[in-house]
Chains A and B, each alone.
Chain A
Amino acid sequence: MLVLPGEEIPSQGLKPGPGTYRVGGKVYASILGLLSPRPPFVQVIPLSGRYIPRPRDVVIGTVADVQSTFWLLDIGAPRWAPLHMTGTPWKVEVGETERFLKVGDSVVVQVENLDPTGRIGVTMNGEGLGKLEGGTIVTVSPARVPRVVGRSGSMIQTITRHTGAQVAVGQNGRVWVGGSPDAIRRVSAVLWMIDEDGQRPGLTERVESYLLATLPTSESGREEPKLGGAPREPPAERFVAGDDGLATPEEAEEPEGEEEPEEPGADQD
């Protein structure tokens, strides 16, 4: 059930959880979202807003600033996340951080710890973590990540099966797509479609029929069929890329080994 800030929630003796507050014995929603009773708590699941980090989340970040011993990553969270040089698989000397990662570079990192002041500790040590080379990053709402992944990765499998692209989903709503330019284009369109109306039922069918209709081998593949959720026009600013924006197939091969194992890890509920 959709609730809005300030609306009273039938708490039925449940304690106020995330997204709610209590005044004078009554519980109210503090954010816009879906009401979800999880005894002993009643909570509101957000439908919008920035990425709120949780420990162990694998996320895709972009270097926003370089200091002598760490980088600051924009992971779409309320604050930048410091990545210390010891949190990388590289031997970094103090002051040499910029040789490894420059402003604008994209990385896959894991959230390690959060402290009460809102500081987000991330690490690049771990399977599937590292610098991203080539490909494109598409941003969707963090609330849509479970839809992008699908039940136990089914949506990703559908997408990769029909396009041959490599896809890595960060819990922060950033999705790395590698492969041929055509595959990247089709996957991006699908991701925008999921972002736009991922909450409507029948999403898998719509994605699948879009991908089938745009198969590059078929003659009509070039035309964008207008389906239920018409893919919106790709806004140019949405592309964040390693270098020239599109990966050549050889380039894209490289990070594959690192990325693939990360997908199943993108568990949601």
Chain B
Amino acid sequence: MGNVGAKEVPVLLTPDGRRIDGRRLDELRPIQIRAGALHQADGSAFVEWGQNKVMAAVYGPREVHPRHLQQNNKAVIQCRYNMAAFSVDERKRPGLDRRSQEISKVIAEAFESVVFAEEFPRTSIDVYIEVLQANAGTRCAGLVAASVALADAGIPMVDLLPAVAVGKVGGAIALDLRKEEDNFGEADLPMALVPQSGRLVLLQMEGHMTEEELAQALELGVSGCRAIYEKMKAALRERYSITPPSGGAA
């Protein structure tokens, strides 16, 4: 990956439909999800997705800080997406920047549309997403991690929130872009799906696509989300699998 910054555009798609890492157009990178990775948080998850490594921690519902953000009729959802200085090739300048502020905002808004925030008035649900290693698609990986962490924290919500990016590389619509495809491809379209209702609660786009390509990309993305949804559920099942027969004392 050392020559990614080179001017030469790599071959993103071979004539027989293979991508730079050998995947087909509709193939996801390998995903591993671990629910409950941290002790102090009310809920947490660690996600390894391709070469992304993302940790998410959820605290709350708890008292709101700062106080003036408190809402009388529901919980506020505060999200902080942050990339570690060592998460990318060139050192990332630590702290808030415009990109991370935007991502924090869209992720918080995605969760606002699925969490039953009215159940906890005047409180805050704080979601922390730390990107330890980045290789394109970190907002989706962060969302997936945070969603599993919210479920782990016992927060009531409509559904888990799987997310994936679809893009256009070498003239074709491809699922789950990796870094080279993101950098040199023609478009990038991250999305988050509510499987229960089929609604999209996050949809952004960079680059250009025709109307037909967009429709195709959405369809591909939704099927990708459903595959990720199963992995999220499996992770939570694994964490909480050993349970007594309905309420019986040991």
Contacts and interface: CB of A to CB of B under 8 A. Distances in A.
Given A2-B237, A4-B151, A6-B158, A235 B61 contact: no
Tell me what chain A mostly uses at the interface: helix, strand, loop, or mixed.
loop
Nearest to B73: A117
Given A23-B197, A30-B116, A49-B153, A2 B250 contact: no
Contacts of A32: 151-152, 154, 236, 240
Nearest to B124: A78
Interface string B150-162: 0111111111100
B43 interface: yes
B236 A4 contact: yes
A50 B61 CA distance: 8
B1 interface: no
A23 B197 CA distance: 9
A33 B120 contact: no
Contacts of B63: 79-80
Contacts of B40: 237
Q: How large is the interface on B (under 10, 10 to 19, 20 to 34, 35 or more residues)?
A: 35 or more
A261 B219 CA distance: 62
A143 B107 CA distance: 29
B17 interface: no
Contacts of B159: 5-6, 28
B249 interface: yes
B210 interface: no
Interface residues of A, number: 42
Interface string A178-210: 000000000000000000010111111000000
A250 interface: no
B160 A6 contact: yes
A48 B35 CA distance: 12
B156 A78 contact: no
B196 A28 contact: yes
Given A49-B42, A78-B123, A151 B156 contact: no
A48 B154 contact: yes
Contacts of A6: 157-160, 194-196
B237 A19 contact: no
B246 A1 contact: yes
B121 interface: yes
Nearest to A64: B63
Instruction: Give the 6 A-B CB pairs with smallest separation, nearest first.
Output: A49-B154, A6-B159, A78-B61, A30-B156, A48-B154, A203-B250
Interface of A: 1-2, 4-7, 19, 21, 23, 28, 30-34, 36, 45-50, 78-80, 116-118, 146-147, 150-151, 197, 199-204, 235, 237, 269
26 contacts: A1-B246, A4-B233, A4-B236, A5-B157, A5-B160, A6-B158, A28-B158, A30-B156, A31-B154, A32-B152, A32-B154, A33-B154, A34-B246, A34-B247, A36-B246, A36-B247, A48-B152, A50-B62, A50-B153, A78-B62, A78-B120, A116-B121, A117-B122, A118-B120, A150-B249, A201-B250
